[in-house]
Amino acid sequence: MTVFAWMEDWQMSARLAKLSTTYSYQLIFCESLAGLPKPETQIVIIIDLRDMNEKDLEQIQDLQNNNSFFILGYTQTIDGGQVKYFKAIGCDMVLRRNKLLKNLESILKKINNAG
């Protein structure tokens, strides 16, 4: 499994790095979603939704129809309306940051086993 991380969150990045080493996930940090390679394996994209602008959100929408990508978005605080909005633009899962940090290992395992 390959995990792309689009974030400037050092704590989340460190957690991802540890899990990628433990479970042999390929971890790639990116500055945008443009030009991602054609997936040969399950790809998880983890996105910090905190400071997304319209151009960034369009990149998420562009990937929405590709079944090889599982897009997981997170932000510090989120309400039901925001979850619905981010899912409508292409996120497969949207979580509060603390919940994702706490459950990241089990979420990645479930996604990997489902793919």
Helix (H) or strand (E) holding 9: none
Beta bridge partners of 103: none
Q: For residue range 38-94, what is the model confidence (pLDDT) as tens digits?
A: 767 778 999 999 988 888 888 888 877 666 789 999 999 999 999 999 999 999 999
- What token pair was written down for 95? 């979580």
Domain residue spans in the chain?
A: 2-114
pTM of the model: 0.90
Contact 9, 46 (CB under 8 A): no
Cα separation of 22 and 44, whole Å?
A: 17
Question: Tokens 């151009």 correspond to what residue?
Answer: 55
Q: How many CB atoms lie within 10 A of CB 48?
A: 19
Q: Judge: domain 2-114, CATH 3.30.43.10.
A: no
